[in-house]
Chain A
Amino acid sequence: MALTGRTPLLALLGALVVGLAAPSWAGVLLVTLAVLVLAAVDAALAGAVRPLELHRAGDTSVRLGEQARVDVLVTNPGRRRVHGLLRDAWPPSAGAASQRHRLQVAAGDRARVSTLLRPTRRGDRHAYRVTVRSVGPLGLAARQRSRQLPWTLRALPPFASRRHLPAKLAQLREIEGRAAVMVRGQGTEFDSLREYVPGDDVRSIDWRATARRSEVTVRTWRPERDRRVLLVLDTGRTSAGRVGDAPRLDACMDAALLLAALAARGGDRVDLLAYDRRVRARVEGAPAPALLASLVDAMAPLEAELVETDLAGMAATVLARGGRRSLVVLLTGLEATPVEEGLLPVLGRLLHRHTVLVAAVSDPRVAELADARGDAATVYAAASAERARAERARLVELLRRRGVEVVDALPDELAPALADRYLALKAAGRL
């Protein structure tokens, strides 16, 4: 039961009747009773809400920043028309354009109510309740009822670094084409034999094949294919810190997606592991065409947890996978304590089996603080920022000396920088 604005308005008109015609308690009682009885009758005559059949249809996932549509299908099996409002309640971060809709369903008919959603945050958004308010024929009162009608809309990572992909793919093709003949050595594999043309490196002439055939034959080489790349997302507290407006984790995901797209085209196998103190997400052995979709789907609900990442446990998980040598890309925040206490002790075993690349998101705010001058407060801040930078430089140096590749870049630059480093490693045959 709910009232509409007409009921108080009617009661207000009743004030005129009471004031002019019946100035007594009896008059007040009579007028109020009349208003209430009218409202009750109106509510009784309103179309029933309980027997309404509600169903959902529409999008189940949307890339962050784009718009999705989720429908509610209302079927009215009752004998009276249902006329009024329907509210499809979503949490604020689902970004519903409008949650209230006019509802008009004749008896035995059905109607469709669409809610447009533009999520403001990555992750799963759950529909909350559907509330229907059915107004009576006089428009004085309404029946109202809320019902659970579950639906989940998954807001996928935006993959903003997509725009870098064409340029990086061109570089990848260049490496492959150049390597066909000219480059030879570690990291390349035998491809085929073909006839010698002037300009070929004489060192690549295959004398045995030349002897068997009547013409001079050379061997061709191509960069190694079917290597393995393991993307490891750190979802611990260092990834929760916000750089600019977004947590570090989002920049890491963006870089991971670009690298995955590139590596899949380069013929490598890409796996994903998200870890803080336990495995939070894992994608293994996804076929290349569906790789990005499954990665994005696995990343969507991930949120950084406010716990210290167990880097030793992470390394153990990576080692437990066994299998061939891989490029392990660790996307993290690069902080002294977890790296020194967690990663360094196990780094030896990790490097023994795999190539390790650490990609870290640096904070432009630190550089900003370091350059600021003015009063004592800003100079102290600058000193603190310099110390943080020195600490970070020391860590990078430490990791490099142990044979770890390190990419330390601002959030916007991390994805292309990581892709470049991958291409360089591939060209050098170090995968």
Chain B
Amino acid sequence: MTAGTPATDSASLAAGAHPADVPADAPAAVTAAPPGSGSANHLPRPPHGTLLQRARRFRAPAALAVLVLVAGLALALAANGRTGSLDPRAASPEGSKAVATLLGREGVDVRLVRTLDEAVASAAAGDTLLVAQPDLLVEEQARRMAEVPASLVLVEPGQGFLDVVAPSVLEAGQSFDSARDPACPFPTAERAGRAELPGRVYSVRPDSATAATGCYPDASAAGDAVALVRLEPASGARSTTVLGSSRPLTNAGLDEEGNAALALGLLGEHERLVWYLPSPDDVPPGARRALRDLLPDGVEFGAVQIALAVVLAALWRGRRLGPVVPEPLPVVVPAAETVEGRARLYRRAHAADRAADALRTAAAGRLASGLGLPRRAAPPDVVEAVARATGRSPAEVGALLYGPPPGDDAALVRLASDLDRLETEARRT
């Protein structure tokens, strides 16, 4: 039944009718009563299944959204295995735990730093500073890096970084040609021999002032593209090594060809190695840029325009076709409400005696009229007649019909079923 004013007992029925306003357009009180329900039905009923139908309409988009979510999760989980790239603590294929361990065994003091400040502070003259992912550094950081007194080993640097730190080296593209020979007079490379170096290749500016050695030339590309450039200033200051491939440093690539010797040679040149693995959030405040700065203006103003379109859509949907219709609803009072209310009162008061009295009187009345006695026959007559009909002893029947009231609820329930059994027996005969 639909809402109204349920009254709990007869006393509150005198309270007067309460008309309730129901919007005609609201889905809760709509008009579509099932046909043929008119004779018995007196209230509008909410239609069945509109919510379900509405949910069904969004099934396809919801499925799509779930699919995208699941695919994204799967990709994220799959990509998770590629973490720890060039991290000396990582044992994953891309990690560098192996080479770091080997260096440690060789007596090199390997120290991992994550920020530029730490790197600059800890790399003194006579140390080696490995910059694992130099492209993560912005120009301002690269400039600080250029002033570090330690020898630099740069792994796969891009042109932007090279322009600042090693302006004489030019990036010359990518090479997937793997194993190659050193073909140069750089002793470390010569010792290592053939090495597996897929990745970037570089060339040396011809007008360069510093002495540059290019090793591991790319056989497939003509010209002077090399995978390793060693810069040794004539003044005897720090050297700079540009390594075009991270392969020799990774756990996976360490054992290929002469990769291990090359890596150990390059990194183990000095007693101390500062392993700088730039972390993405270590960016100077001036270089920080919000997502908004990266978006083109068109996106921003387009979004403003979309917001205006949404406002217009709200106006479109918000305008109702005529006002809401009020409906005076009848009051719904079940006729048996007083009976049920009295039952609850009995129960709360544990009035087993009164309840038993009512049940016994009713049962005795039914038994009496069933056995041809007047409904209000005297107890002894009823007891005698019932005892004769059922074959039970008069004392037992008397105790059941006119005995002492039951003490608690359980006794009352037992009494009710005993009375039922007695009536069934009496009816059977």
Contact = CB atoms under 8 A, between A and B. Distances in A.
Interface in A50-96: 64-66, 85, 87, 89-96
B32 to A, nearest CB: 8
Interface stretch (A6-14, A106-114, A312-320, A398-406): A6-14
Given A31-B305, A387-B358, A95 B42 contact: no
Interface in B344-360: 344, 346-347, 351, 354-356, 358-359
Interface string B315-357: 1100101110111101111111111101110110001001110
B24 A241 contact: no
Contact of A383 (B36, B309, B358): B358
Nearest to A389: B362
A237 B305 contact: no
B37, B309, B362: which has the most chain A beta carbons within 10 Å?
B309
Contacts of B424: none
A120 interface: yes
Interface stretch (A16-24, A165-173, A418-426): A16-24
Given A2-B319, A92-B327, A379-B355, A11 B305 contact: yes
Interface string A365-383: 1100110011111011111
SS class of chain B's interface: helix, strand, loop or mixed?
helix
Query: How large, as a class, is the contact surface on chain B?
Result: 35 or more
B340 A306 contact: no
A301 to B, nearest CB: 12
Contact of A3 (B42, B310, B312): B312
A136 to B, nearest CB: 14
B321 A121 contact: no
Contact of A245 (B42, B312, B344): B42
A363 interface: yes
Contact of B305 (A28, A93, A386): A28
B30, B43, B308, B316: which has the most chain A beta carbons within 10 Å?
B308
Contact of B302 (A7, A16, A122): A16
A240 B331 contact: yes
A14 B36 CA distance: 51
B24 A20 contact: no
B124 interface: no
B87 to A, nearest CB: 42
Given A158-B39, A305-B17, A383-B356, A18 B305 contact: yes
A248 B358 CA distance: 26
Interface string A244-257: 11111010000000
Given A91-B24, A129-B322, A369-B336, A380 B347 contact: yes
Contacts of B347: 376-377, 380
A96, A158, A376: which has the most chain B beta carbons within 10 Å?
A376
A204 interface: no
Contacts of A85: 321
A32 B306 CA distance: 10
B237 interface: no
B297 interface: yes
B333 A89 contact: no
B210 to A, nearest CB: 47
Interface stretch (B62-70, B99-107, B264-272, B411-419): B411-419
A7 B308 CA distance: 11
B305, B312, B338, B347: which has the most chain A beta carbons within 10 Å?
B305
A7 B312 contact: yes
Given A243-B335, A383-B355, A384-B340, 9 more contacts: A15-B302, A22-B301, A93-B43, A240-B331, A241-B337, A245-B41, A246-B40, A383-B356, A387-B342
B333 A240 contact: yes
Contacts of B305: 11-12, 14-15, 18-19, 27-28, 31-32
Nearest to B29: A92
13 contacts: A2-B316, A3-B316, A18-B305, A92-B325, A120-B31, A121-B44, A237-B13, A306-B17, A369-B340, A384-B343, A386-B361, A387-B358, A390-B362
Contacts of A383: 343, 346, 354-356, 358-359
Nearest to A243: B335
A16 B44 CA distance: 47
B412 A8 contact: no
A79 B332 CA distance: 52
A99 to B, nearest CB: 7
A160 interface: yes
Interface string A300-316: 00010111100000000
Interface in A27-55: 27-28, 31-32, 35
A250 B306 CA distance: 57
A118 B361 CA distance: 49
B33 interface: yes
B355 A32 contact: no
A28 B359 contact: no
Contacts of B37: 65, 120
Nearest to B326: A91
B331 A306 contact: yes
Contact of B339 (A92, A308, A369): A369
A131 interface: yes
Given A303-B330, A385-B339, A65 B39 contact: yes
A234 B132 CA distance: 96
B144 to A, nearest CB: 37
A100 B30 CA distance: 14
Interface string B283-307: 0000000000000111111111110
Contacts of A32: 305, 308
B409 A376 contact: yes
A2 B321 CA distance: 9
A66 B35 CA distance: 9
